[in-house]
C-alpha cells in the first residue's frame, strides 16, 4: 500500500471512526516493546523545563509602538523548545522574531505547548489562546502520538477538532508535521524502521487534514536527519530532542509558510528537482512531502475547482524569505545586530 493510500485510509478512518492501519503480530509487538524499553533507557531527560518565551518580540530598530501581530504556538515538547536553556532559542521565539522582521511589527507570543502533549491536547490548547485573539497559530505535534502508539486515525480526529476551533475563530494556522522518528539516535532496529513508517504515515495524514481545513502543512520529515547523523550538536542533552541549532533549522522551514499565511511576501519554488508546482490530489502531495522535508502542502485550484475526483487539490512548494534565523541566541545574524529579542516580559 502506498503512503498516499495509507494517508487517505487514515483520514477516512478519522472521519468515520475506523481503526486505521491495522494491528501488528504478537511477535512484532513483543520485539518492539523490548526495543522501546531500551530506547527509553538510553534517552536522558533534560534537567529543566523549557524556558518560557511568552511576551512581545521585536526585530532590531523596529517601532515597537506599532500594533503587534499575535502568534500562538501549540503542540508538544518540540513546540515548547524542550532541551534548550534560553528563551530566544525556542522555535516559537525564532519564528516570532522572523515574523517581526518581515512584517515590521512587534509580535506578541503566547506559547501553550506542553512537554508530553499529544494531538488530543490541542483542543484545550486552542481554548487557552483564544483570549489573546491570535492572528496565526503554529502547531508542532505528533511525536508523542507515535511513541505512545496512538492510532493515526485517532490523532487526526483530534487534529480536525482543533483545526475546526481555529477556523471558527478565524485564526490562520500552519502545522509542522510529525518528524521522522527514524532519525533518533537511541532508537534501534526494528523499532527505528517502524517509527519511520508510522511517523511518515501520520505526517501525510496530518497534511491531508490541514489542507482540507484550509491551512498550510510543512513537512519536517527527516530535515535534520543528515545533520543528526554527522553532528552530535544537533541534539540536546537528552539525545532525543533537537538542540538550539536543530530548533533553528525547524523554525527556518516553518517561518516562510507562517509569513505566507499572514499575507507577507515570500518566494515559492518547486519542492525538488523532479517536482513541479502543479496541483495534484492532496493525498499524493502529502505523501510526497513526507519524504521532502521543508516542503509546504497547501490547497490549490484546477480550472476553478478546489476538489477533484480524488479529493481536494494541493500544491507542493518550497518557500523562502529574505530573513535569516540565527542558529543560537549567541550567533549574530549577519543582516541584523544581535540585539533582537523581547521588548516586553509580560504576556
Assess contact for 73 and 81: CB atoms under 8 A: no
> If 0-12 CB within 10 Å is exposed, 13-18 middle and 19+ buried, where does residue 337 land?
exposed
The answer to whether residue 120 is catalytic is no
Which residue among 85, 237, 238, 268 is the active-site one?
A: 238
Query: CA 88, 89, 91 angle in degrees (round to 5)?
Result: 100
Which residue among 77, 236, 243, 329 is the active-site one?
A: 77
Among the listed residues 249, 141, 153, 240, the one whose alpha carbon sits nearest the alpha carbon of residue 201: 153
Long-range CB pairs of 228-236 (<8 Å, 24+ gap) are 228/183, 228/184, 228/185, 229/183, 235/185, 236/46, 236/82, 236/83, 236/84
Which residue among 103, 241, 257, 329 is the active-site one?
A: 241
The answer to whether residue 148 is catalytic is no
Which grid coordinates are listed for 156? 487526526
On the CB side of 128, CA atoms within 13 Å amount to 18
| Eight-state DSSP code of residue 273 | T
Q: Which residues are catalytic?
A: 77, 238, 241
Amino acid at each position: 500500500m502506498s503512503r498516499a493510500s495509507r494517508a487517505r485510509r487514515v483520514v477516512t478512518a478519522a472521519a468515520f471512526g475506523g481503526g486505521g492501519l491495522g494491528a501488528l503480530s504478537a511477535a512484532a509487538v513483543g520485539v518492539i516493546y523490548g526495543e522501546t524499553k531500551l530506547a527509553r533507557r538510553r534517552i536522558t531527560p533534560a534537567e529543566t523545563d523549557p524556558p518560557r518565551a511568552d511576551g512581545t518580540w521585536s526585530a532590531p530598530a523596529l517601532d515597537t509602538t506599532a500594533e503587534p501581530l499575535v502568534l500562538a504556538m501549540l503542540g508538544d515538547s518540540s513546540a515548547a523548545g524542550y532541551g534548550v536553556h534560553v528563551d530566544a532559542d525556542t522555535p516559537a521565539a525564532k519564528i516570532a522574531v522572523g515574523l517581526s522582521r518581515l512584517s515590521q511589527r512587534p509580535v506578541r507570543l503566547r506559547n501553550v505547548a506542553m512537554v508530553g502533549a499529544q494531538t488530543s491536547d490541542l483542543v484545550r490548547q486552542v481554548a487557552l489562546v483564544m483570549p489573546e485573539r491570535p492572528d496565526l497559530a503554529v502547531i508542532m505535534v505528533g511525536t508523542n502520538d507515535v511513541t505512545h502508539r496512538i492510532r493515526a486515525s485517532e490523532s487526526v480526529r483530534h487534529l480536525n477538532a482543533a483545526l475546526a476551533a481555529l477556523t471558527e475563530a478565524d485564526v490562520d494556522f500552519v502545522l509542522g508535521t510529525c518528524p521522522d522518528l527514524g532519525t533518533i539516535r537511541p532508537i534501534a532496529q526494528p523499532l527505528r524502521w517502524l517509527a519511520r513508517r508510522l511517523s511518515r504515515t501520520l505526517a501525510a495524514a496530518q497534511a491531508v487534514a490541514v489542507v482540507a481545513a484550509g491551512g498550510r502543512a510543512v513537512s519536517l520529515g527527516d530535515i535534520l536527519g543528515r545533520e543528526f547523523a554527522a553532528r552530535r550538536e544537533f541534539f540536546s542533552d537528552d539525545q532525543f530532542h533537537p538542540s538550539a541549532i536543530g530548533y533553528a533549522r525547524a523554525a527556518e522551514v516553518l517561518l516562510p509558510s507562517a509569513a505566507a499565511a499572514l499575507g507577507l511576501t515570500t518566494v515559492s519554488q518547486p519542492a525538488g528537482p523532479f517536482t513541479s508546482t502543479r496541483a495534484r490530489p492532496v493525498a499524493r502531495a502529502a505523501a510526497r512531502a513526507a519524504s521532502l522535508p521543508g516542503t509546504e502542502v497547501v490547497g490549490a485550484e484546477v480550472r476553478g475547482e478546489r476538489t477533484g475526483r480524488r479529493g481536494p487539490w494541493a500544491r507542493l512548494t518550497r518557500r523562502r524569505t529574505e530573513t535569516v534565523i540565527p542558529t543560537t541566541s549567541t550567533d549574530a545574524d549577519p543582516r541584523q545586530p544581535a540585539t533582537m529579542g523581547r521588548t516586553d516580559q509580560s504576556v
